[in-house]
Structure 1
Amino acid sequence: MVSRGTRGYIALDWETQRFVFLKDAWRPFYDGVEKEGDILSKLNKEGVTNVPTLIVHGDVCERDGTEQETETSKLSPAYRAEKPPPVAIKKRKIIPLRTTRPTTTVAPRGQEVSADIRLAPLPASAPAVGDPFTMASSSAKASRGVKRPAHGGSTDDLRRPGSGIRHLVHYRIVVAEVCLPSTAFLSGRTWATVVFECLQAHQGAYEMCKIVHRDISVGNMLILPTLLFGSEGVIIGVIWSGILTDWELAKDAGVMFARQPERTGTWQFMSLRCLMYPTLPVTIPDELESFFHSLLYNAVRFLVHNFSNIHTFIHNYFDDTSPDSNLVPSTPQAKEASITEGRIKFKGKALKFGGRDLHPMNELVERLLDLFRARYRVLRWETEQETAWVAQDDA
């Protein structure tokens, strides 16, 4: 098994006779890290929009009730056999659908998992399962620091050979929405709208639940096609909405210490600050910058612009992991130059979307770059001031 072994399936909920999405993965077992289903339950309860609707979730167990967990990690000197008390499993109860559109009749009995389940209408077509990125935050090249054990451990244990092996638990989660990948958009306007609605989901999660996503990427922004019905029940159109998914790395904004020592996020879309200072916690400005990098990524891949060698630009701006003097992956130089200078340039040419007529994406990118450039100017000034104060104290 590589990394968390995440797999996705379109499944059939037998009680409701509706298609749902089932995610099968091996979640890292760290103290204080919430399950993705628990986080989605909070978001659904508070009415956060544009996030998946939780149906059911839980760890996968053997017939005797023990959790399915990785065996190799038990050989680590940092592993502790103690387990937390088992979580009570509630019987599921099907909640009537809350919708103004014609839907399938729902059975009156079942299990309860969420206080308010709103099943989305079926999409026009099946999505592609999985995302195209293999350079995740858990990649050996992109991670720094020492892994913490599942149930604590001394500093000496963490330094011993084998202590970096992650302890994983088999986990499954089912959500109501069956979505399309972010690459399925048909126009720049649709893609910008999808990103904006995912941004609204991120805002709602923070303002209503104090939760930060911490893994903004094109693979975690999906498209939900919703059928639009007329007064006589005839389909008159399809609305494409953005869904911000994969909340497994989300964290309470009030927790300021690192619960997982690995670099959190997807390398291609991490903010410049997080790449340069991986030990610092992810902040809201970092998340907003990740939204920008995600917007730019699909825009460069699928919209018309003046760059000819797209593959090379994608590598230099997003994928580059050239090691520094300490053999640690360094920040892509193209990304650093673009964010700090406020212009995206490649081989001496500034990026321009559109053919003869300039595309509205240009103005959006320019305005966002101005904001990020201002942010890093302020951060640079603060660093210089702090350095000067330290020098005065030493003197």
Structure 2
Amino acid sequence: MAGLRGNPNLKALHKHFYGEVDVVYRVVVNLCTLYVYQPFTTTHLYPVGQGTRCFVAFDHENRRLVLLKDFWNWKYDSEYETYKALECKGVSHVPHALAGEDIAGRFQQTEVLGIKPVHFHLMLDVVGEPLTKCISTHQFAQIISDALQAHYKAYRKAGVLHRDISSGNIIFFKSRGYLIDWERSIKVTGIPPAARTTERTGTWQFMSIKLLEDPDYPHQVRDDLESFFYVMLFMLCIRSLDFDSHAGLPRQ
């Protein structure tokens, strides 16, 4: 832990995001020193999943904000390597991975049902806003367009299929969209791959009908595109509810 009293700039920064904070935590990722307070995500509170926590982090050496993702990698390729491969192929509207590594230590590896998850840290250069915070139809359309371009270029130029399109995995920064969370992506060839696991990959409420109906059906690019449609439908529904509440109309 590190005290903030001796660093007024760092204290002001964390006050902007977290309120009055006197103590933060120091995290080192590939020799990069970061300071964080608490995660802004909540999925790690559930007893299932990968325990993913995301932090707004302060990069001390470069005096900038970055994103720190802390999670348990279960059975997929390194998300850090996926980000670097996308960057190498010039895929736009995807954050740049600044650092990433397995966390060393006796208690940073475990075994569940024959699978050996590894605790992992990933550092990204974009701290974006969630899709639900866009303020206009034009901005929303731009964000979705950017995310679709990222998906298309990743598939065509890098041979990578995302496989987890959801409202939580599309963010925006300065009104431009970014497609994030590539931890469940796979490399694809001309032949659709067989399902790699007995359970489905993705966020259930945004998955294609075919994937939900057939457990042996391999995840394909058209399933991701169907998920984009459900993301847009989801946003339409929640914004309609917001409009009704602000207009004083009863929710149907």
Q: Normalization by structure 1: what TM-score?
A: 0.48
Alpha carbons 2:162, 2:185 under 8 Å: kept: yes
Shift of 1:267: 0.8
Match of residue 234 from structure 2 = 297
CA deviation profile, 1:268-314 (whole Å, cap 9, x unmatched): 11111111113211111111110000011011111458x9646xxxx
Alignment of 1:145-294 (within 5 A): 150=115, 167-225=116-174, 240-254=175-189, 256-294=193-231
Match of residue 4 from structure 1 = 50
Partner AA of 1:20 in structure 2: V
Q: Any stretches of 5+ residues in structure 1 without a counterpart?
A: 80-149, 151-166, 226-239, 311-395
Secondary structure of the equivalent of 1:190?
helix
RMSD across aligned positions (CA) = 1.9
Select the residue among 56, 67, 75 that pairs with 1:21: 67
Shift of 1:185: 0.6
Separation in 1, partners of 2:107, 2:79: 17
Matched, 1:50 2:96: no
Superposition misfits of 4+ residues, deviation over 4 angstroms = 307-310
Separation in 2, partners of 1:22, 1:185: 23
Shift of 1:169: 1.2
Separation in 1, partners of 2:107, 2:80: 17
From the superposition, tell whether residues 67 and 201 of structure 1 become closer, same or farther in structure 2 (CA, over 3 Å).
farther
CA deviation profile, 1:147-192 (whole Å, cap 9, x unmatched): xxx4xxxxxxxxxxxxxxxx32111100000100111111122112
From the superposition, tell whether residues 194 and 308 of structure 1 become closer, same or farther in structure 2 (CA, over 3 Å).
farther
CA deviation profile, 1:297-349 (whole Å, cap 9, x unmatched): 011111458x9646xxxxxxxxxxxxxxxxxxxxxxxxxxxxxxxxxxxxxxx
CA deviation profile, 1:200-231 (whole Å, cap 9, x unmatched): 00001001001000000000000112xxxxxx
Separation in 2, partners of 1:193, 1:273: 28
Partner AA of 1:43 in structure 2: L
Separation in 2, partners of 1:52, 1:41: 10
Separation in 1, partners of 2:71, 2:117: 9
Match of residue 78 from structure 2 = 35
Separation in 2, partners of 1:308, 1:265: 34
Separation in 2, partners of 1:55, 1:67: 25
Separation in 2, partners of 1:198, 1:272: 21
Alpha carbons 1:6, 1:23 under 8 Å: kept: yes
CA deviation profile, 1:49-74 (whole Å, cap 9, x unmatched): 00011100111111xxx671125x3x
Separation in 2, partners of 1:249, 1:309: 36
Alpha carbons 1:23, 1:174 under 8 Å: kept: yes
Alpha carbons 2:194, 2:217 under 8 Å: kept: no
Separation in 2, partners of 1:259, 1:244: 23
CA deviation profile, 1:47-102 (whole Å, cap 9, x unmatched): 1000011100111111xxx671125x3xx5xx3xxxxxxxxxxxxxxxxxxxxxxx
Separation in 2, partners of 1:197, 1:27: 27
Aligned-pair identity (%): 35
Shift of 1:261: 2.3
Q: Which has the higher contact order (CA 8 A, sep 6+)?
A: 1
Partner AA of 1:45 in structure 2: C
Which structure is larger by alpha-carbon Rg, 1 or 2? Answer: 1
Alpha carbons 1:42, 1:209 under 8 Å: kept: yes
Partner AA of 1:36 in structure 2: E
Secondary structure of the equivalent of 1:177?
coil
Alignment of 1:121-136 (within 5 A): none
Alpha carbons 2:161, 2:221 under 8 Å: kept: yes
Matched, 1:68 2:108: yes
Alpha carbons 2:69, 2:123 under 8 Å: kept: yes
